[in-house]
Amino acid sequence: MQSSFIPLMVPDLRDEDIESVVNVLKSGMLVQGKNVEELERKTASYLGCKHAVAVSNGTATMHICLKILGIGPGDEVIVPAFSYVATANVVELVGAKPVFVDIDQHSFNIDSRKIEALINKNTKAIIPVHEFGLAADMDAILVIAEKYSLYVIEDAACALGAKEIDRFVGTRGLFGSFSFHPRKAITSGEGGVITTNDDELARKCRIIRNHGIEILNGKMEFVDAGFNYRMTEMQAALVLSQFSRIESILETRNGLANIYYRELKNQSKLILPCIPSNKKHTFQTFHILLDQNINRDQFIDKLGVKGVGSNYGAQCIPDQVFYRNKYNLDSNKLFPNAYRAYKQGLALPLYEKLSEKDIMHVSSVVKELLHD
């Protein structure tokens, strides 16, 4: 791989994964059948939660949760200022207002100490994000949620398998939300899963993902105005096949991340991601911060010229065109850590197909450019 271009991410799809999709195609049952059911059982048993509901993507998971909770116009939802933009978009999509909180500069996760000051009588929910595969500070967030009776929807889109002490993320809030987009550790192409321990909420999720359909007395009834957010059998089979390797995938990713730590430590012009000792990082993204004096976009271009794919890690959401136009917030001033992570952050290649030599090569190119 070393002589050619090293992309930021390539899913590790094996022959058996591909074969499982072909088998679905041959079966004739293409949407929400036994593979979807199996994926839901597998997810719930892996995470140790009561219910898992598979849907068409990670954004749909959160849209469904907000919809079911009746969150809408006049309501406010607390979200981190730094995440993938979908975390705030879903709040907009139900007509509620996202209220942004700055992140902690070391973990890239919502700064739980800054949440309480933003809560008012309109606040209905908090969506903490386990950014890049590192658990957010759930103990503190759950205490605040309890105190003010707020719903907690964990955006664990990029954090399947991440743990805080021995608890998986996505199992402590009212809902957990996961994505199987190709940028995540295991993929269905597009896909997502909602997790919850609440029977009634799980039932509502199933109804609303499928046109509002519920089977009552053996008869199909349309009991709600639902979405079509179903997952296909091809998607479910593809991700199920990788799911059986999840522990080894996460171990491989951690091993590769460790090589980055070894190769890039003690560089004065960059900051490496932190791993608190009580948390298990899944390194969906290996995200570093470049010194303020380095032009990050040029750095990405230069890496590209040298055969290394990279990108910024996530957005400072209030600084994106839609949010800037609508709320006119000065992100640099109000959310300095989120703004800096957005402007100076850099995601480096990390996936199972890379070797130790590949990571050493990427690291040496990064170091060379740092000293340019």
List contacts with ligand PLP (CB under 6 A). 57-59, 83-84, 86-87, 129, 155, 157-158, 179, 181, 192
Contact criterion met (CB below 8 Å) for 201 and 174: yes
Q: Which two structure tokens, joined as six digits, stand for 297?
A: 């976009």
Residue closer to ligand PLP (CB basis): 184 or 361: 184
Residue closer to ligand PLP (CB basis): 236 or 369: 236
Residue closer to ligand PLP (CB basis): 126 or 158: 158
CB 188 to ligand PLP: min, Å: 9
The residue at minimum Cβ distance from ligand PLP is 58
Residue closer to ligand PLP (CB basis): 21 or 158: 158
Residue closer to ligand PLP (CB basis): 129 or 288: 129
What DSSP state is assigned to residue 115? Answer: T
What is the C-alpha to C-alpha distance for residues 364 and 143, in angstroms, rounded to an integer? 44
CB 58 to ligand PLP: min, Å: 3
CB 323 to ligand PLP: min, Å: 15
CB 52 to ligand PLP: min, Å: 15
Helices (H), the chain: 15-27, 34-47, 58-68, 86-93, 138-147, 199-209, 233-243, 246-264, 296-305, 321-327, 331-334, 336-344, 356-370
Residue carrying structure tokens 């595969």: 133
Q: Is 311 exposed, middle or buried (0-12, 13-18, 19+ CB in 10 A)?
A: middle
Region of residue 74 (left: phi > 0; alpha: psi -120 to 50; beta: else): left
CB 82 to ligand PLP: min, Å: 10
Q: What crossing angle do the helices spanning 246-264 and 233-243 adopt, rounded to 10°?
A: 60
CB 293 to ligand PLP: min, Å: 29
What is the C-alpha to C-alpha distance for residues 210 and 312, in angstroms, rounded to an integer? 35
Residue closer to ligand PLP (CB basis): 145 or 314: 314
